[in-house]
Structure 1
Amino acid sequence: MSQFKVAAVQAAPSFLDVAAGITRAVAFIEEAAQKGAKLVVFPETWLPGYPNHIWLGPVAWQMQFVGRYFENSIEAGDVHDKAIAKAARDNSIQVSLGLSERAGGSLYIAQWHYDETGELIKRRRKLKPTHVERTVFGEGDGSDLVVKDTAIGRIGQLSCWEHLQPLSKYAMYAQDEQIHCAAWPNLKLYEGGAYALGHQVNNAASMLYAVEGGCFVIAACALVSKEQQDILCEGDPQKEALCPVGGGYTRIYAPDGQSIGADLADTEEGLVMADIDLSMIAYAKAAADPAGHYSRPDVTRLMLNSKPQRPVMAFDETAGLAMEAAEGAAAEADVVEIASAAE
């Protein structure tokens, strides 16, 4: 299969209401499938919504959202996870879902990828939350920089400003990524005062990823609704100026950098859809394959540690030494040199 439709969701989240968010997510999955899409991509932390409050006021004020945000985040294997898996299976469509993942007492910016049978392909976490996101979310590790084989091609995922991390991007390019799921929050925060947070820069990051990686990029972007603004800003005109309604700039990019989806207005909710043809990737990479023939591994190369990093490693006394030795050997083996494909 080289030619098929893909879809990206542009919509405001059901902020701090994960049950309502799941209902709407299922509806978007059904709509995308009915329109012929083989893959649908959701924005960053769309469930239960991006925590814009961390950008809007002092920590003491933000604390009012902490409990509700935690309670409306999703755990692997819970009823919400199963509902998305069922929707993928019932509609025979792959789903890349952006969400706040709860694990123990911690939260992570996550992207969960389900195949068309509802089976899980990958749960990944953002490697490094950006700026004040670090007050809410923990970090991922090298195992989260992965491209997976699927029935429709080799698919990878990154969130937001991971698209500004050159080495992380290179690690993805080197895995022969064909379709990239880019999850973004709304892109109007601090509009007029922080150009780097706006849609011009961030859409450019998605476009450049498509050209550098020689792949299709499905860049799903959320927006802020009036209802969400009311919750976050409490009628404060200063906060409303920092967090305006809108900010949805969803795009789908071809490997040559063209935007190939039908764009929506930044305040409009719906699906951005496009027909993609994976055979076009060969033409893009014939010109420039930065992890292949267009690389210079004798000058620069990347070291990737793809081993999961966990804070607790349990083992019994009798097997302790053997397990420590095995872990050490595995850690050494998992440090992979990514250089030229010609090597």
Structure 2
Amino acid sequence: MTKQNPKFRAAAVQAAPVFLDLEATVDKAIGLIEQAAQNGAELIAFPETFIPGYPWYIWLDSVAWQMQFAQRYFDNSLEYGSPQAERLARAARDNKIMVALGHSERDGGSLYMGQWLIGPDGRTVSKRRKLKPTHVERTVFGEGDGRDLSVHDSELGKVGALCCWEHLQPLTKYAMFAQNEQVHIAAWPSFSIFPGGAYQLGPEVNTGASRAYAVEGGCFVIAPTAIVSPEMSEIMCDTDTKKALLAVGGGYAQIYAPDGQMISNTLAPEEEGLVYADIDLGMISLAKGPADPAGHYSRPDVTRLVLDRRPRDAMSVLSSDSPARDATNELPEEEPDLKAV
């Protein structure tokens, strides 16, 4: 259960993975978990697909050229229940710290952009998938469904998470706000692609999206970002043109308060490390006093959101005692319960 207005220290990662190396990146993640705990953090958040790294090669050349990376990326993605996943859960437990891990999730023959929330006891709080991979990400990753828009009770407050440009989708954000989210993990890759040529992919817009989320939702936002290391550039950029398209660095990890102020220290864009902030959930009542987006400042009689959490699995197994379904194998439509979100 959530304590009354807990106070705690949070850490956001700004670091490069050991690209396309599952074991080495798990080692690095565990080192960062230990470092955060030693510095008093009770929560550490990792960037989008930190394991085994964001696949920037999908933005650089043709699908045929990308195929040289496809099997390595799949083989080095994280599978739940694997020895590597068990090591990460054990690190959370041993260091008594909540871990929000961004990773490429391997499930069967598919990959998903996953966020795994591990409690300080090493148990899973939640597993989610990015609802809609962005643009060329769809050549690599599958989609999540309504189950992935959830906020979870913890001793650190009501915690939720989204990836990257999910923070530019108004209805997705509102689904989280309506669950009284207090601590939000905003996982980003590095802001490295097409430097100077695609403003909406750059740090100004995307750090602005994290800050706006904090103000709109009246919540704290922990926003880790990755870095493109020189080693990653050498792996993915085999021409001068590609090196110009993918900048080394790109880290802008930051933490925001519910009033929009940045409350963490910062690092240079090419610098690896952790940024920290002291969180006081008591600030949320002050922020939501003027404007609670899903409470007193909402008008559900005029506009409202329906969140459909029904599973969208590829197969449903029916037995003789299963309730009857129609030919589409969908649950019957029901009047939305707006309080359910």
TM score, norm. by length of structure 2: 0.95
Conservation of the 8 A alpha-carbon contact between 1:184 and 1:219 = yes
Equivalent-residue separation in structure 1 for 2:332 and 2:178 (angstroms): 20
Equivalent residue runs for 1:123-138 within 5 Å: 123-138=127-142
Residue number in structure 2 paired with 1:337? 338
CA distance in 1, matches of 2:290, 2:310: 33
CA contact (8 A) 1:10 1:221 kept: yes
Deviation per CA, 1:204-250, whole angstroms, max 9, x where unpaired? 0000000000000000000100000000002x110001101000000
Say if 1:75 and 1:103, in contact at 8 Å, map to a contact too.
yes
Q: Which residue of 1 aligns with 2:252?
A: 249
2:292 corresponds, among 284, 289, 301, to: 289
The reply on whether 1:309 has 2:326 as its aligned counterpart is: no
Q: Is 1:231 the equivalent of 2:235?
A: yes
Alignment of 1:70-219 (within 5 A): 70-219=74-223
Report deviation, 1:74.
1.0
Unpaired segments ≥5 residues, structure 1: none
For 2:188 and 2:85, the matched residues in 1 are separated by 21
Alpha-carbon distance in structure 2 between the residues aligned to 1:310 and 1:243: 36
For residue 148 of structure 1, what is the amino acid of its counterpart? H
Please give the alpha-carbon distance, in whole angstroms, between the structure 2 residues aligned to 1:319 and 1:72.
Answer: 41
Residue 337 (structure 1) shift: 2.6
Q: Deviations over 1:258-309 (max 9, x none)?
A: 0110000000000000001000000000011111111111111101101221
Aligned to 1:277: 280
Following superposition, the deviation at residue 167 of structure 1 comes to 0.2
For residue 133 of structure 1, give the secondary structure of its aligned residue in structure 2. Answer: helix
Q: Distance in 2 between matches of 1:43 and 1:109?
A: 11
Secondary structure of the structure 2 residue equivalent to 1:252: strand
Change beyond 3 A, Cα 1:336–1:80? farther
SS in 2 for 1:212: helix
Q: Aligned residue pairs: how many?
A: 336
Tell whether the 8 Å contact from 1:302 to 1:338 is kept in structure 2 after alignment. Answer: no
Aligned residues: CA RMSD? 1.7
Q: 1:60 to 1:329 in 2, by over 3 A?
A: closer
Of residues 53, 56, 59, the one that matches 1:52 is: 56
**Identical-pair percentage:** 57
What's the secondary structure of 2:271's corresponding residue?
A: coil
Letter in 2 for 1:261: S
Residues 174, 86 of structure 1: alpha-carbon distance in 2 compared, 3 angstrom cutoff: same
